[in-house]
Structure 1
Amino acid sequence: MKKLLAALLLTAGLVSPALAQSDEAGKLRLMTFGGEAQLKSTQDAVTRFNAKYPNVEVEIGVDAVGGGWGDFVSRVLQQYNAGEQYDVYHTAVETLQSFAARDLFIPLDDYIATGDFSDFDAKLFDLTKYKGKTYFIPSTWNNIMTNYNRALFAEAGIPAPSKTWTWDEFAAIAEKLTKRDANGNVTQFGYEVPAFFFGLMPWFLSNGTSPVTADWSASNMTDPKVAETLQFLYDLIHVKKVSPVPGQEGVENQFFAGQIAMISRGHWIVQNAIASKLDMDIATQPGKVSNDTVIGFGAYGISSKAQNPELAKALVTELLSYETQVAEGDLGGAVPGRKSAAETENFLKFPPSAPLYYETLPTTHAVPSPANFQEVDQIFMRYFNAIMTDEMTIPDAVAKADQELTRSFERIKRVTQ
């Protein structure tokens, strides 16, 4: 577990005593995640916090979340069991029910009611509730958009996608953007079918369905629209052959190198696109019954075992300040939770359609994140990969996935009721 954590220590000695506003002393442990942009903005926020609380030592742990959010949940549970939990966790929507159902964090409704969160979209707070209480405060977010290479579109004579483009229009464009050599080998793919749960969800949502029910309480795999969606994605790979088979490494790098024309990702790829000098823009999710997409977001929670929850709240206040939010957006991380921080010149200058992130927020749906998310993720992706690699037929995989998911939901109900 320690190999997954990069320990960083910021001490009160870095801050001028002249800036002190509180004599309170203590120590806080903060667990966060993300890349360089997230880490830099977090460090700067802690420095500002120490200007107000110079006698408080803040230890920052960084989890790479390399194995996905299901594995992250397992590591946090291990920390609690070993008495090594942090005071403040920066986590993601995929984990919220898993943690809240186990009473690992304190309710924050009173804190939110008295805080300065007026420019956070109310939808973000709605998505953090569990059984009527709010245990987490949203920080930054990503909704999956269609990221596309504008130069390749122009070269093929294809106009920018409309905000209401359809699955059929998307497939036709992907075919035009796929190139092959004299031997029929693909040299440029039109699209990459995502190989992760979050990235796949827009295809189901835009068809009016999901692998789990709307209330995240049961399997929805037997909905015919689930099989229809899987068939569409399968055909992109094996019939139209406009996408590589999921699971190949370096796919994002192929997109940055101009070898893939479109991928489904969030704002997190912006910095790499800029570094690669990629002429990239974003479009809405292609639609079958709607152009709805999925949202995932980071959120801060305070441990139920925190020794000083009020001091932890003060740290969270700085981590969610306008200054921190602007830094995260400007440095190319996720979309700031404060809309005011997403209206800066730096944030809006790239990609060209950057306002579309917030414009599509009303039609986003939280990535299904039941308390048994780690099992749901693993089960669904195992059968999805079996379909896309021709190991199983869609009907067989759907039936098997439904059986396993049903058993998983039955188990978690026994734990949380």
Structure 2
Amino acid sequence: MSAPTRRDILRFSAALAAAGTLAACGKSGDEEAGGIVTVDLWHGQTDTGKKALDALIKQFNDTHPQIKIVGGGGGVTADSMLQKVTAGLAAGSFPDIAYIFGSDLASITRSPQVVDLSTVDLKDAWPAARDAVTVKGKVRAMPALLDSLCVVYNKKLFAAAGVPEPKAGWTWDDFVSTAQKLNNPAKGVFGTGWPGVGDEDTVWRLWPMIWDLGGDVVTEDGKSVAFDKVGEQVLGTLDKLRTDKSLYIDPKPGSEQLYQVFLGGRMAMVATGPWQLPDVLDKGIDYGVVPLPTYSGKAVTISGPDTWTVFDNGKARVKAATEFVKWLNDPQQDVQWDIQAGSLPVNTTTAALPAWKKHATATKGLQVFVDALETARVRPTITQYPQISQHLGEATVAVLLGKKSPGDALGECVKACNALLAVPS
């Protein structure tokens, strides 16, 4: 898996709009000499993720002599893959498979070169994984990575403050009061933290809170936002953390500083995913993991799945590329990727394998993230989502910085988003 700083950070650029007008042209030629079909994979993985994927590619190539997967990566990290692929599609030179963030899938499927994978059986995939690759009722990619959001906390800081450790079923009021009790300015300790630049990392943490209150991203007909009635309460929770001065606000993209404060033992609680556990373990922090707090008492979280998206460079290459991404999702390969690269099991079948159970048992708190998949939801695969996220991100930052009240910030956000949704996509 690539670094956690890449977690679904959206690019609000001209490249996004250009995806809708891409020429339907691609590379010619399906087979190489000797009848071997070569498949070009752009994955953008680094470090452990690249090492894990390289090993799987070799394993596939060794067992499928008529297909050769070339995993060059595309020359960019996963953060920049959308722009890279979009430019390649416009130029008529694009990969057979690319690692595309789930939040970008709806935009990239504007291109006629994205293959429809609706014939692929995803019945064993977690609902969040299926939903993330489904656009307008059709499967447009294969799940590549799965995560969920929970709260990781520092046991030492709780003990030092004499505060009971959180348990499943706790509320957002509990979270706010706990953060205030653990906040210790004299020792440079914050109760918790939140990304403060207004990007997708700022926003995606809000959706479980909105869903919990009965809201949603957009209405069923897609003509207006569906968080207008509950958003003020959600932003109000952040405002309370701000006014209590128990909230560290990360001013830089990627949340790196937020995580560094936690890893440095100066933050009591952080909402994060399983990708952060290796770093927590490496720092020797005595930690615990609990589900997100709730307003209603009913557990809900968010997952931000990424995808393997297949592009049409001819029938033979489409067939070979599809075979490879299906093979990656098979539990025997999925479990290798999950353990080595830091993902959660894409399939429920994988989660039941002895190898995964052993890994989950050996990694404190990991099973909490897996169990959270039972209530995990995903953001809608709609082309307007990046702009909605941008407006909500701006509103959130205005509240975090004390520049606007939750009500005023939300009102401006809703107005801008509804104007956007009123224009047919």
**TM-score scaled to structure 2, two decimals?**
0.80
2:57–2:69 Cα contact (<8 Å) kept: no
Deviation of 1:122 (Å): 4.7
CA offsets 1:250-278 (integer angstroms, 9 cap, x no match):
11011111111111111111221122222
2:299 counterpart of 1:291:
yes
2:138 equivalent among 104, 108, 133 = 133
Aligned residue pairs total 378
Unmatched 5+ residue regions in structure 2?
Answer: 1-32
Paired position in structure 1 for 2:232: 227
CA offsets 1:123-179 (integer angstroms, 9 cap, x no match):
532442222221112132111111111222233333332211011111121112111
**Taking structure 1 as reference, are residues 48 and 180 closer, same or farther at Cα in structure 2, changes over 3 Å only?**
same
1:244 equivalent among 231, 242, 248 = 248
Unmatched 5+ residue regions in structure 1?
Answer: 1-21
Distance 2:88 2:138 in 1: 24
- Residues 392-401 or 381-390, more deviating: 392-401
Residues 284-363 of structure 1 aligned to structure 2 (within 5 Å): 284-289=291-296, 290-305=298-313, 308-331=317-340, 333-342=342-351, 344-345=356-357, 347-349=359-361, 351-363=363-375
1:88–1:303 Cα contact (<8 Å) kept: yes
**Taking structure 1 as reference, are residues 175 and 390 closer, same or farther at Cα in structure 2, changes over 3 Å only?**
closer
- Residues 362-371 or 152-161, more deviating: 152-161
Paired position in structure 2 for 1:375: 387
1:141–1:336 Cα contact (<8 Å) kept: yes
Deviation of 1:385 (Å): 1.2
1:45–1:318 Cα contact (<8 Å) kept: no
Distance 2:163 2:349 in 1: 34
CA offsets 1:213-265 (integer angstroms, 9 cap, x no match):
36655323532x1011101111101x211112342561101111111111111
CA offsets 1:85-144 (integer angstroms, 9 cap, x no match):
21112222212222234434211122x23xxx6643355324422222211121321111
Residues 4-403 of structure 1 aligned to structure 2 (within 5 Å): 24-54=35-65, 56=68, 58-61=70-73, 63-66=76-79, 72-110=81-119, 112-113=120-121, 119-181=124-186, 187-195=188-196, 196=201, 197-213=203-219, 218-223=224-229, 225-237=230-242, 239-248=243-252, 250-289=257-296, 290-305=298-313, 308-331=317-340, 333-342=342-351, 344-345=356-357, 347-349=359-361, 351-403=363-415
Letter in 2 for 1:293: T
- SS in structure 2 at match of 1:250: helix
State the identity as a percent.
20
**Alpha-carbon RMSD:** 2.6
Letter in 1 for 2:292: Q
**TM-score scaled to structure 1, two decimals?**
0.82
1:194–1:200 Cα contact (<8 Å) kept: no
Letter in 1 for 2:205: G
1:147–1:283 Cα contact (<8 Å) kept: yes
**Taking structure 1 as reference, are residues 199 and 39 closer, same or farther at Cα in structure 2, changes over 3 Å only?**
farther
- SS in structure 2 at match of 1:40: helix
